[in-house]
Structure 1
Amino acid sequence: MTTTPAGHPPLHWLRAVDHPELMATGTHAALSGWAAVDPDVADAVAVARIDPALADTAALTAAYDLAPDASANCVVVSGRRAGEERIAAVVVLATTRADVNTAVKRLLDVRKASFLPTDRATAESAMEYGGITPVGLPDGWRVLIDARVVAAGGVTGGHPAVVVGSGIRGSKLSLPGALLGRLPGAEVVEGLAVE
């Protein structure tokens, strides 16, 4: 068996719609619903089991020999306006960071934006920390995707793709960035991230 330089077996990508056990329940439900209306989804979205201890992007890319720009991070941000809380999941390439203080704050139209506390983000998304993904988030949360994620051209699993969470720490999803930009309800935003 070939192994990656870090000694881990290479990622084995499977059709995600066929493997509900490898993602959060809400993620699989959303993925299945999306596949029902977009014929590209079933064959283009893959899932691979990983060591849960390596779910964080830096550890993942090193252990499985992935290009850093082939991964995207999903962070949850909130702010308030006139007593109303506004929450958004923000997806940016792992080589960048979400511009929370300018771009996200402006898009949410709030005075101050900050990361949602981890316990709330995991409880309300029904996803694990380190595995939160834009696929299957609660209704009412905006999904903001940096345009660089949509244009991402790294190769994962033999096809141009970006790696994102699966809702759990024990696996990752891989899909073309352009397809992620078509996720129902997602908003593709130029300049959402900074280097």
Structure 2
Amino acid sequence: MGSKNKLKRFRENEGFDNVIQPSREEIKNGFSLRGKWAEHFGNDNPIVLELGCGKGEYTVGLAQRDGSKNFIGIDIKGARLWRGAKTAMEENMSNVAFLRTQIELVDEVFAENEISEIWITFPDPQIKYKRTKHRMTNKSFLTKYRSILKADGKMHLKTDSEFMHGYTLGLLHGLGLEVTYANHDVYKNEGSPKEVLELQTFYEKQYLEIGKPITYIQFKVN
């Protein structure tokens, strides 16, 4: 993407009511929406996050399927999440928001028990050992997710990476956490939730075209 297009999208994001872009300093000094996301949406409906949302395809897709919940896509790449934000604006979707920030700050932008579900869709598996601290399902991140999820909160991991799938399952079992569903090839085995099968990201479609298996885990951290 050219720099002119990026700048244009950054400017449009600033005018979108559904895009929140706090600075790191604002977050560290006490983020104004932490614990008050219900006020932002104007209701007490359950809040669902998509971490590393990219273009926001899953965030928007989930919101289109279920108007009884609020959905927030989080990504640091403003030029990417612009696409989902623009679609949600064009379709007058009041149950969608996008937050531009780093994933590691998730426990500083949401309060305890504020979130009902978290989706992690096609994260970078960070295969090299020295990159373990950046894996979005490592022990440190799971602790952050636990701190903001309700007691019955759900976690979802959908990925094309067999490594990420296996790593996460092994970690969850080692920590004694509940795995409610796991599938190493969701399109060849029965039983996967509809939102796993019927919603596909741009990259997922490319993976499927070359026959790459898509894996999925649903689990709890509380």
Rg (Cα) greater in structure: 2
Whose strand fraction is larger, Structure 1's or Structure 2's? 1
TM-score calculated relative to the size of structure 2 = 0.29
> Structure with the greater relative contact order (CA < 8 A, sep ≥ 6): 1 or 2?
1
Higher helix share: 2
Structure 1 length normalisation: TM-score? Answer: 0.32
